[in-house]
Amino acid sequence: VSALVLLLTQGSDIGIVIAAACVGMGLLYGIRKKEIFTRSILLALGVCVLCPVMGWTMRLLGTLEMLPADGFVPGIILKPFWWGAAVVFAGLYLLERVMPVKTAKVVNRSLVLVGVLAVSTLSILYLCMLPKGAEWGSGRGGLWQAALAAFRRMDLPQKFLGVGPDCYAEYIYNIPSIAGLIQMEGHWAGVVFANAHNEWLNMLVNEGVLGLAAYLGVFACAFRRYRRMPLGVMALVLYGISSLVSFQQVMNTPLLFLVLGICESRYRLWKTGSYLIW
């Protein structure tokens, strides 16, 4: 619960997406295993209660300015809809406790379907509201255009091998026609963007097609090998969502590989018959 609240209050829109995906995947896995569904409801309930409690506590202490001022957090953390959502999740939890198993499965599947449709609709509406072109996604549109333009400009060996690890900025800013795509005005003016703010495009420029294929292979093999481990799959999906608009950092990427290491250990124990995955 604390981790998801931090995702919601750290100031980046992608935090909301990751938190929603975390609860959503728990509910999806819960169709097959009831206790996972119940715990996912409790997880959502805890977030809906802790967010406004934290907001009002910070307001009483006069520390709301500690929240990111350039994001959406101060405007929504004190909104009353959190309590309404908490009532809904509390009601669902109580229903889960009293409903017969067969009825619960039907209700769970219906809730997941409605949730997927609602999240998909809201996501499409949100994306349509964002500014077009280079300013899309706080300037990510320009960064992505620059990355693709740089890749097209490379000769054949560079397309396969890239320009070198962490050399995105060095390469991009030495091409005036491409650097112009990311000279944004306003809040971020004058900042040097050292990566594409998209791991896959960043990998394409730095390590080329071969590096991108190798990195993609890590995800593909892990999904195939650990598909029976809900927490392993959740780590891959949630990190994968973040990677679309972010970049490798010391605070997140090593943790992904630690999770994969735990999954590999459990997979090998399962193969020997000494551990039950599902």
Q: How many CB atoms lie within 10 A of CB 259?
A: 19
DSSP state of 133: G
Q: How far is CA 190 from CA 70, 175, 176, 246, 257, in A?
A: 18, 17, 15, 20, 34
Percentage of the chain lying above the pLDDT 90 cut: 33
Tell me what pLDDT residue 187 has: 47
Q: 136-153 and 199-225 are packed helices; what angle lies between their axes, rounded to 10 degrees?
A: 90
pLDDT at 183 over 70: no
The answer to whether residues 82 and 52 touch, using CB atoms and an 8 Å cutoff, is yes
Taking a C-beta distance cutoff of 8 angstroms, is the pair 58, 67 a contact? Answer: yes
Whether the predicted pLDDT of 122 surpasses 70: yes
The predicted structure's pLDDT at residue 169: 84
42-100 pLDDT per residue, tens: 999 999 999 889 888 888 888 777 777 656 666 677 788 899 999 999 998 998 888 88
The answer on pLDDT for 189 being more than 60 is: no
Which of 203 and 112 is assigned the larger pLDDT? Answer: 203
Query: What percent of the residues of the chain are helix, what percent strand, and what percent coil, each to the nearest 5?
Result: 75, 0, 25
Q: Residue 185, SS3?
A: coil
- pLDDT for res 76: 76
Long-range contacts of 255-261 (CB under 8 A, 24+ apart): 259/231, 259/232, 259/235, 260/218, 260/222, 260/226, 260/232, 260/235
Distance CA 91, CA 102 (A): 19
CA-only gyration radius of the chain, Å: 22
Using an 8 Å Cβ cutoff, are 17 and 6 in contact? no
Mean pLDDT confidence for 130-138: 65
Residue 106's pLDDT is what? 80
* 226: CB partners within 8 A, 6+ apart: 232, 233, 236, 260, 263, 264, 267
Distance between the two ends of the chain, CA-based, in angstroms? 24
Segment 157-171 shows an average pLDDT of: 90
- Residue 258: band (very low, low, confident or very high) from pLDDT cuts 50, 70, 90: very high
Comparison of pLDDT for 230 and 188, the residue scoring more: 230
Distances (CA, A) of 17 to 57, 197, 244: 25, 16, 12
Residue 186: predicted pLDDT: 47
Is 36:29 a contact under the CB 8 Å cutoff? yes
Residues 6 or more apart from 138 whose CB is under 8 A from it? 188
Give pTM, 2 decimals: 0.83
